[in-house]
Amino acid sequence: MAPLLEAANTFGTPLYVYNLDMVQKRLSILSDLFGNRFGISYAIKANPNPTLLAALQAGLSTFDASSFAEVIAAIDAGMPAKQVTFSGPAKREAEIKGAIVAGVGELVVESLTEAKRASSIAKERGVNQNILVRINPLKLPRKFGASMGATASQFGIDEEDLARDLPIIRDYPNLNLIGFHIYSGTNCLVPEAIAENFAIFADIFRAAQEITGVKPKRLVFGSGFGIPYLPGEDALDHAALPALINPIIDDLLDGEAFNETKCNLELGRWLVGPAGWLLTRVISEKHSRGVEVRTCDAGFNAHLAACGMMGSVIRRNWDFENLSNAKGQTGRYMLTGPLCTSIDRLAMDIELPKVSIADVLSIASSGAYGYSASPRGFISHPEPREVVIENGQLRDATPPLARIAAELVL
Ligand SMILES: Cc1ncc(COP(=O)(O)O)c(C=O)c1O
């Protein structure tokens, strides 16, 4: 953990550290895992840090952007626009226009209204835009940490409406329907449940093909691959996945209708989550009614998810370490953030080696949905800075404006 402490001492806290060497290793494991069955699509929303995107870009099939700003981030990172997909349930007219003008490879259409809007914009621009239709399945197996489908949802065309809606979308002028997209659940640690979900996708893709008569060029499988967040949780046994998933893909592609199909595995957290830490420094300490309270310079403003506020039903302590005192005698602590609200709690009754003022604490599994998924403006505390470790070296990766703001308070 020496590089983490060095990072905190060099760049200040709160600080996000992303180990790009680890990210590249995970990307290469994933790229090799299923033979040539899948290209990898990285969902920028998981972590849009520009340095991280630039490092990932060369090893990916596509970036999936979910706003026009993310489309631009993808292109800025060096990705050709035709290797960018643009998903998201509320694309404004100007965003669709911007994406079409930028030349995004595939617009992921989430509703009939959106298809109609995209069609008239493409017509106005005199272009034919490739689209994928996102589908909201009826079923999601158990064991997924978060569900984005299998219920009433803003994401995609409901499976039971495909026969009615897909021909309408296929026939809209200036849209070129080239495939289908499903992302119905995420953060799953059970290989069998992921495979069961892929079998559901395969059946839906077959049905969508039959309804439209379109030979898909692209099918997107929202992976749902999870990562452990809590101490004691086991990592997803990714090595068990090919034996379960390869037969499903081979069976799907074994037919004339799918002989031009390229499949993409879309994901974010599995690639980058375990390669990131949030570092925070203890600012103040007190003994309050029998509880040792330590107040840190990061709270839910810096890491909403670690504070249990991003979809967790029960708040549980994430994996903390005291980097300044790794092996001392332990105590039990309430760790809070700097915000003026009692819900700003990083950890409750957590056992750590003695925690004192100025100690640096790390929160693991913070590489995805950390910095960008937190309400950083609340109470206007200094924003976290971001650094990367690349070839073993620490490097500032804070976008320029945020860097100037962070330097003002160092
Ligand atoms: C369309 C889409 N793709 C990919 C992802 C990435 O999910 P994860 O980071 O859990 O892999 C999400 C997450 O919300 C998503 O909505």
Backbone angles phi, psi at 300, to 5 degrees: -70, -15
CA 403 / ligand 1 centre spacing (Å): 28
The encoded tokens of residue 25 equal 């290793």
In this structure, are residues 69 and 92 in contact, taking their beta carbons and an 8 Å threshold? no
64-123 tens-digit pLDDT:
999 999 999 999 999 999 999 999 999 999 999 999 999 999 999 999 999 999 999 999
CA of 43 to the centre of ligand 1 (A): 6
Is the pLDDT confidence value at 333 over 90? yes
Residue 239's pLDDT is 98
70 lines ligand 1 (CB under 6 A): no
Taking alpha carbons only, the member of 90, 141, 80, 85 closest to residue 111 is 90
Q: Tell me if 110 CB under 6 Å of ligand 1.
A: no
* Residue-range domain boundaries for the chain: 87-267, 274-409
CATH 2.40.37.10 fits 274-409, yes or no: yes
Share of the chain above pLDDT 70, in %: 97
The residues pairing with 188 across neighbouring beta strands, listed in sequence order, are 144, 225
Give the per-residue pLDDT at 119.
Answer: 98
Pocket test for ligand 1, best of 27, 132, 267 (most atoms within 8 A of CB): 267
Instruction: Please enumerate in sequence order all residues whose Cβ is within 8 A of that of 213, keeping only pairs 6 or more positions apart, or say none.
Output: none
Q: Give residue 405's pLDDT.
A: 63
Please write the tens of the pLDDT for every residue from 41-60: 999 999 999 999 999 999 99
| Cβ of 130 less than 6 Å from ligand 1 | no
pLDDT confidence tier of residue 147, bands split at 50, 70 and 90: confident
Any ligand 1 atom below 6 A from CB of 183: yes
Tens of pLDDT along 372-402? 999 999 999 999 999 999 999 999 999 876 6
CA separation for the pair 44, 50 (Å, rounded): 10
For the CA of 148, the nearest atom of ligand 1: 16
Predicted confidence at residue 1, as pLDDT, reads 59
Q: How far is the CA of 267 from the centre of ligand 1 (A)?
A: 5
b/e per residue 101-116 (b: at least 16 CB within 10 A): ebebbbbbbbbbebbe
Q: What are 234-261's pLDDT values in tens digits?
A: 999 999 999 999 999 999 999 899 999 9
Structure tokens at 410: 């160092």
Of 186, 220, 372, the one to substitute when testing ligand 1's pocket (max ligand atoms within 8 A of C-beta) is 186
Q: Is the CB of 267 under 6 A from ligand 1?
A: yes
Ligand 1 atom nearest the C-alpha of 46 is 9
CA 407 to CA 59: how far, in whole Å? Answer: 33
pLDDT at 347 over 80: yes
Domain 87-267 top-level CATH class: alpha beta
Q: Which pLDDT belongs to residue 402? A: 65
Cβ–ligand 1 distance for 148 under 6 Å, the answer yes
Q: How far does residue 409's CA lie from ligand 1's centre (Å)? A: 34
Query: What are the pLDDT digits (tens) for 173-217?
Result: 999 999 999 999 999 999 999 999 999 999 999 999 999 999 999
Query: In this predicted structure, what is the pLDDT of residue 78?
Result: 97
Task: Please tell me if the CB atom of residue 187 comes closer than 6 angstroms to any atom of ligand 1.
Answer: yes
Distance 189 CA to ligand 1 centre (A): 15
Distance CA 52, CA 76 (A): 12
